[in-house]
Structure 1
């Protein structure tokens, strides 16, 4: 492992392989959860659903944690996808973590609500009732956080959850990740937690492996902080750790 420490950037930890990256991220998240629960009866955590999180989630579910004290959320969901589709982010997380432990509560975003505003209001109220302590997230190829693509990312967003149209780069990433066979199958809209909902959490653990994320990682750390590169906002958060592997860190 190597660590990049620079007062201008978040803490960055680089590992030789995706597996090592995922295991170390899982251990650090678990330690922080235990620390928080020393003075709290429960903790509220938002998780990302993407192949980039596979190694982290596989290691995280093996951690010895008081799962019954964790309220779990996920950060985005497609609109209009069949409710049993494996590409659904709620289904992804159910199969890899939410359905494998006895959480205090698990709150799924419903992308099949006929009136999306009803669902955004419902989930917004859940987040008000359970202020987010921790987010385990990734960075998209276009720099998105959750489904806050550059055209819709708003660092001062007044909404906590909103309906967005996905840009082409974001939809193409879903094909690149092997989730869909072609871009025509990728939904055009989604529900997402907004940038403030994510970065207002006390702790951010950002897991970003793979060569296709190398440019996004470089932009996150090198480009001016702006909506054009949504992930650059991570540089304004004092309690962020970015976990990389050899490939995703190759342009640093």
Structure 2
């Protein structure tokens, strides 16, 4: 099933696997189109188990010219050990960055000694390499990147900042199996801000699972407000939201038929 809510296109599929395959197909088509116009493009990727099926399908597409793509990641915990498997940069390295030949790969340094300097460094790179495509998810609290409701700002004046994570966001990491319990989850992180993400002409948001159903409902049917940061996607021309039957389960779809 496919429909629009304001500027946002929503596509729902029966299974998580099909959702990932369809999203990857659309992203690959966008890459091909952009590389007909530009020598290289810049992409930002989310790091989360919700992205697994999408990333696997994207890697399987042998037509993508990875050597013309500069890759970035969108958020990172502060204070984890450099080799911690929960680190978002490490996740992306394992799932994507080490598996295809990107032109370049740029990581946020979660072990940086001076947080403000790291924010400035990464912000300068984002200005030097303006983003073309963002591949993201939505958190259980409606966040995009680590812009939780209490720190989200649709008009944020900066591109990268340090944020405190709310407990719902931190518990999501436990639900996802990344940490054993809440006490292990870092309390702070670096994140790209909402304007940094929405500056991209193309945004592909992949959101499976029942645990995201309420956030999806709020994104589509609630007010456009920082209380549900993902709701800003409804004002973004070029944004597409991909759902599976579980994440779409609270939507009152007119027809129980999926795209």
Aligned to 1:159, the other structure's residue is in SS state coil
Any conservation in 1 of the 2:8–2:237 contact (CA below 8 Å)? Answer: yes
- Structure 1 unaligned segments of length 5 or more: list them: none
Contact in 2 for aligned 1:9/1:221 (Cα 8 Å): no
2:185, 2:192 → 1: CA distance?
A: 19
Distance in 2 between the 1:101 and 1:13 partners? 27
Residue in structure 1 matched with residue 245 of structure 2 by the alignment: 246
Partner of 2:137: 138
Shift in Å at residue 204 of structure 1? Answer: 0.4
What is the root-mean-square deviation of aligned Cα atoms in Å?
0.7
**TM-score under structure 1 normalisation?**
0.98
Residue 27 of structure 2 is aligned to residue 38 of structure 1: no
Mapping 1:74-113, distance limit 5 Å: 74-113=73-112
Distance in 1 (alpha carbons) for counterparts of 2:130 and 2:109: 20
| 2:4 alignment counterpart | 5
Alignment of 1:227-238 (within 5 A): 227-238=226-237
Residue pair 1:155, 1:196 contacting (<8 A) in 2 also: yes
After TM superposition, the structure 1 = structure 2 runs for residues 188-207 of structure 1, keeping only pairs within 5 Å, are 188-207=187-206
Distance 1:224 1:9 in 2: 14
SS in 1 for 2:206: strand
Which residue in 1 is equivalent to 2:221?
222
**In 1, Cα distance between the equivalents of 2:99 and 2:238?**
28
Gap runs ≥5 in structure 2: 252-259
**3-state SS of the aligned residue for 1:5?**
strand
Distance in 1 of aligned mates of 2:111 and 2:226: 28
Cα distance in 1 for partners of 2:182, 2:7 equals 34
CA contact 1:53–1:207 (8 Å) conserved in 2: yes
Shift of 1:101: 1.2
2: CA distance, partners of 1:208 / 1:194: 19
Q: How does 1:30-179 map to 2 (within 5 A)?
A: 30-63=28-61, 64-179=63-178
8 Å CA contact retained: 1:44, 1:132 = yes
The whole-number CA distance in structure 2 between the counterparts of 1:227 and 1:54 is: 27
Look up the SS of the partner of 1:80 in the other structure: coil
1:29 has 2:39 as partner: no
What stretches of structure 1 move > 6 A for 4+ residues in a row? none
Whole-Å separation in 1 of the counterparts to 2:155 and 2:41: 25
- In 1, the alpha carbon distance for the partners of 2:183 and 2:113 equals 22
Shift of 1:9: 4.9
Kindly indicate whether the alpha-carbon contact (under 8 Å) linking 2:7 and 2:236 is maintained by their aligned counterparts in 1: no
8 Å CA contact retained: 1:5, 1:12:
yes
